[in-house]
Amino acid sequence: MNINDSEYLKSIVKEQYGKIAEQSKTENETSCCGTGCCETVDYAVFAEDYTKLNGYNPDADLGLGCGLPTEFAQIKAGDTVVDLGSGAGNDVFIARAIAGEKAGVIIIYTRAYWVDIVISFIIAIVILISTWKLFIDSIRLALDGIPGGIELDKVQNVILNFKEVKDVHHVHIWPISSTENALTAHLVVSDKDISKFETVKNEIKHELEHLNIQHTTFEIEYGNCSDNHK
Ligand SMILES: [Zn+2]
Ligand SMILES: [Zn+2]
Measure the CA–CA gap between 125 and 176, rounded to whole angstroms. 29
How sure is the predictor about 2, in pLDDT bands with cuts at 50, 70 and 90? low
Distance 185 CA to ligand 2 centre (A): 8
Phi, psi of 28 (to 5 degrees): -65, -40
Higher-pLDDT residue of 22 and 205 is 205
Band (pLDDT 50/70/90 cuts) for residue 47 is very low
Closest CA to 164 of 141, 188, 135: 188
Checking if the pLDDT of 15 tops 50, the result is yes
Across 11-38, average pLDDT: 64
Segment among 46-50, 51-55, 56-60, 168-172 with least mean pLDDT: 46-50
> Taking all residues of the chain, what is their mean pLDDT, rounded to a whole number?
78
Distance 223 CA to ligand 2 centre (A): 8
- DSSP, collapsed to helix, strand or coil, labels residue 230 as coil
Q: Which residue, among 210, 79, 96, has the nearest Cα to 154 in the 3D structure?
A: 210
As a whole number, mean pLDDT of residues 93-109 equals 78
From CA 152, how far away is CA 156, in angstroms rounded?
A: 6
Altogether, the residues listed in the chain come to a count of: 230
- CA 227 / ligand 2 centre spacing (Å): 6
If you write DSSP's letter for every residue of 12-55 in order, what string do you get?
A: HHHHHHHHHHHS-HHHHHTSTTBGGGGTTS--TTS-S-GGGSTT
Query: What is the distance in A from the centroid of ligand 1 to the CA of 144?
Result: 14
Ligand 2 center–CA 166 separation, angstroms? 12
Ligand nearest to the backbone CA of 226: 2
**Percentage, residues of the chain above pLDDT 90:** 21
Amino acid at 67: G
% of the chain exceeding 70 in pLDDT: 77
Rounded distance from Cα 177 to ligand 2 centre (Å): 26
Distance separating alpha carbons of residues 30 and 155, to the nearest angstrom: 56
Give the model's confidence band at 162: pLDDT under 50 very low, under 70 low, under 90 confident, else very high. Answer: very high
Taking residues 105-125, report their average pLDDT: 78
151 or 54, which is more confident? Answer: 151
Which residues lie across from 220 on neighbouring strands? 187
Query: What stretch(es) of the chain map to CATH 3.30.70.1350?
Result: 152-221
C-alpha 185 – ligand 1 centre gap (Å): 8
Q: Give domain 152-221's CATH number out of 2.40.30.40, 1.20.1090.10, 3.30.70.1350, 3.40.50.150.
A: 3.30.70.1350
Instruction: Please tell me the distance from the alpha carbon of residue 175 to that of residue 133, in angstroms, as a whole number.
Output: 14
Ligand nearest to the CA of 229: 1
| pLDDT for res 25 | 66
Kindly give the distance from the C-alpha atom of residue 171 to the centroid of ligand 1, in angstroms, as a whole number. Answer: 6
The ligand minimizing its distance to the Cα of 225 is 2
**Number of DSSP helices (H) and strands (E) in the chain, helices first:** 7, 5
Q: Find the 29 Cα to ligand 2 centroid distance in Å.
A: 64
Q: 109: burial class by Cβ within 10 Å (0-12, 13-18, 19+)? A: middle
- Flag whether pLDDT at 160 surpasses 70: yes
Q: What is the ipTM of this complex?
A: 0.73
